[in-house]
Amino acid sequence: MAIDVSHVSDKEKKVWLDKKFIYDHCEPIIQQSVDTLKTAIETAELINSDFRDPRKLAAIYIAGGSAGFPLVPGKLRDQFGKKVRISTYPQASTAVGLAISADPARSAHFREAVTRNLGVWREYGTNKIFDTIIEKSSRLKPQSGPLQVKRTYNPVHNLGHLRFIECSSLGQSGEPSGDIANINEIFFPYDPQLKNEEDLCHLPVISRPDLAAQEVTETYSYDSRGIITVEVENLSAQYKKTYILSRRNLPAELSAD
C-alpha cells in the first residue's frame, strides 16, 4: 500500500507498507465500531424494531473515507452479510443528506429519537432509588412539540442535589446499567431563605422535616434538537430555576426568578 508522505518529507514522496501490517494494526479499532453497530441494532430490536424484516432495515450503508478501506466493508460483511452496501456517493453522502434536509419540497422527514435513558438519583426513606425521567423507547411527535415529564413532591431537606445519569439500559430493579455517563448535577434551594444564594454547591445538605409543607415540581422538556431542560419550581413559595441537562458545552443554569 502506497502512503503519500510528500507533505512531511523532502526526500520521499511515497512509503510502501505491507497490507497485512496495516490491517493487523487497524483491525481492533474497526472491530470496536462493528461491535458498537451490532449493539445498536440489537438495542433497537428490544424496542420493537425488527431489523430482520426487510421493510425495517434494507441495508447498512458505508459512507465517507472508510468506504475506500477494504477492511471496513470486509469486517461488516463478515457480521451482517449481504445487507452491507457501499454508498453510491461515499465522499458526498453528508452533503447529499444536508441538501435533502434543506429542500423545502423534500419527501423525507427527520425527527429526534431518544436513544438512552435519562434519570436522577433520589432518596426514598433510607435508600436511594434511580428515577427514570425519560426512557429511550420514548418518541417525539412533531405535531405535539417537546416531550414533557413532570415530578411533584414535598422536600425534607434544605437543598436539592440532583445527580443526573444517562445509561444505555436498566437493570432488573430499575438501576442504571450498560453504558453509563454522568450528565449534570444541579442544586435547587428547597428552603425559601436560600432562593437568592448564588453558590449552592458549597452549602451542606441537611434534614429539614419542617419543609415538607413546601410543594416542589420538576418539569422536564425534551425538544426536537435533543436538548433537555428542567424547570424546578417551589410552588408554595413561588420561585423557580431552569437548567439545561446536556453533555454539550452549554450553561448548566439558564434562568431563575
Question: How far, in Å, CA of 13 to CA of 17, rounded?
Answer: 13
For residue 109, tell me if it sits in a domain: no
Q: Are residues 143 and 66 in the same domain?
A: no
For residue 34, tell me if it sits in a domain: yes
Please write down the long-range contacts of 226-234, taking CB distance under 8 Å and 24 or more positions apart. 226/112, 228/118, 228/134, 229/254, 230/186, 232/160, 232/186, 232/188, 234/189, 234/190, 234/192, 234/195
For residue 187, tell me if it sits in a domain: yes
In this prediction, residue 255 carries a pLDDT of 43
For residue 8, tell me if it sits in a domain: no
Tell me which residue range forms the domain holding 85. 15-102
Q: How many domains is the chain partitioned into structurally?
A: 2
Q: Are residues 149 and 218 in the same domain?
A: yes
For residue 200, tell me if it sits in a domain: yes
220, with CB counted inside 10 A (0-12, 13-18, 19+), is buried
For residue 4, tell me if it sits in a domain: no
The CATH number assigned to the domain holding 211 equals 2.60.34.10
Q: Are residues 127 and 251 in the same domain?
A: yes
Q: Are residues 143 and 234 in the same domain?
A: yes
Instruction: Answer with the one of 102, 128, 162 that is the final residue of a domain.
Output: 102
Angle made by CA atoms 14, 18, 22, in degrees to the nearest 5:
95
Question: How far, in Å, CA of 201 to CA of 223, rounded?
Answer: 28
For residue 81, tell me if it sits in a domain: yes
In this prediction, residue 253 carries a pLDDT of 43
**pTM (2 d.p.):** 0.58
Question: How far, in Å, CA of 66 to CA of 245, rounded?
Answer: 33
Q: Are residues 138 and 238 in the same domain?
A: yes
Question: Which 3 state secondary structure label does DSSP give 186?
Answer: strand
Q: The C-alpha cell of 16 is what?
A: 510502501
Q: Are residues 46 and 76 in the same domain?
A: yes
Instruction: Answer with the one of 45, 77, 102 that is the final residue of a domain.
Output: 102
Q: Kindly state the DSSP code that residue 209 receives in the 8-state scheme.
A: G
Q: Kindly state the DSSP code that residue 124 receives in the 8-state scheme.
A: E
Question: How far, in Å, CA of 21 to CA of 224, rounded?
Answer: 45
In this prediction, residue 47 carries a pLDDT of 54
Q: Are residues 153 and 192 in the same domain?
A: yes
Q: Are residues 128 and 211 in the same domain?
A: yes
Question: How far, in Å, CA of 219 to CA of 152, rounded?
Answer: 9
Q: Are residues 72 and 130 in the same domain?
A: no
Instruction: Answer with the one of 74, 102, 130 that is the final residue of a domain.
Output: 102
Q: Are residues 41 and 143 in the same domain?
A: no
Q: Are residues 35 and 126 in the same domain?
A: no
Nearest to 242 by CA among 225, 216, 219, 214: 219
Question: How far, in Å, CA of 228 to CA of 245, rounded?
Answer: 5
For residue 2, tell me if it sits in a domain: no
In this prediction, residue 113 carries a pLDDT of 67
Question: How far, in Å, CA of 133 to CA of 230, rounded?
Answer: 11
Beta-bridge partners for 245? 228
Q: In terms of residues, how long is the chain? A: 257
Beta-bridge partners for 118? 134, 166
Q: Are residues 80 and 135 in the same domain?
A: no
Going residue by residue through the chain, which has 257 residues, state the pLDDT in tens, using 9 for 90 and above.
Answer: 888 888 887 777 888 889 899 899 999 999 998 988 888 777 666 655 555 554 566 778 888 878 888 889 899 999 888 888 887 778 888 788 788 778 877 666 666 667 788 999 887 767 788 999 988 877 776 666 788 899 999 999 999 999 998 888 888 888 888 878 888 889 999 999 999 988 898 899 999 999 999 999 999 998 877 788 999 999 999 999 999 886 543 334 444 44
Q: The C-alpha cell of 247 is what?
A: 453533555
